[in-house]
Structure 1
Amino acid sequence: MRSTTTIDDMLSVTMGTTVGLIEIREVIEKDYTIDEFDDKRREHYIITIRDSIERLKKFAEDFQNTTFTNWVKRHINFLEEDLKQQLFYEELSDNLRDYLLQTVDYRTNKIKNENHKLDKQLIMKNCKENRTVG
């Protein structure tokens, strides 16, 4: 059995790295699935919060009590700020997940191309060695 060459070792490393990137991609895809469920939950949350805000405004108008109206305004401000933050962080999370997936895909393709070049070099080297032996 022949000893390994630098090309063999490099090919082995890049193939191992490719497998790692494929595993990372699978995890990101699972996160997309989880996010779909979370988006449905959030959609219900957003509808409920907006409806609550409208009902509180109407209730405060009907009640005509300064103390209660001030409490309602504070509560509405809290709900509106919470909703704004929910949407902001969801967008950040979606953008990060998209970036991760694009980066993993780019790196995987780059390594696959490098593997192809190394494979080609290894085949050419083996062909040359076989010609000189025979």
Structure 2
Amino acid sequence: MGETVSDDLADQLVSTCRTTVGDELRSVTYFTEDDEEQLYLREDLESDADLVGFADNERLGFRSQTLYEETELGPYQFTMRVFDHGYLTRVIVGDRGAFVTTDAMEMDRFKELASALRSVLAEETDD
């Protein structure tokens, strides 16, 4: 993969998403405050998306997770963005995050996806 993420973590994230989402998975991107790396792009899609722009927008979540600490809503879990042709799900744990794009799916599958991503990102943070 690249310098942003270890090959092991990249493989775990993509494998987790493929297992949870299946054929509806469109892309997987890992990001930090300073960098981003697309780990997976479904082969029927073009690689012309503004990855840096998407990542810059999703980085706002680092500030949001701090803002939402100590609220009556409980801990931040994940963010979903809904589009005409699919969804973007963002999960942040500590100083790292991932966003995943998918085709339309049932809501429960997004919860499963976010929980699985959170587990993989948290394991890496503990190392």
Q: Which has the higher strand share?
A: 2
State the TM-score, normalizing by the size of structure 2.
0.27
More helix by share: 1
Please tell me whether Structure 1 or Structure 2 has the larger radius of gyration of its CA atoms.
Answer: 1
Q: Could you say which structure has the greater relative contact order, defined with CA pairs below 8 angstroms and 6 or more residues apart? A: 1
Q: Give the TM-score taking structure 1 as reference length.
A: 0.25
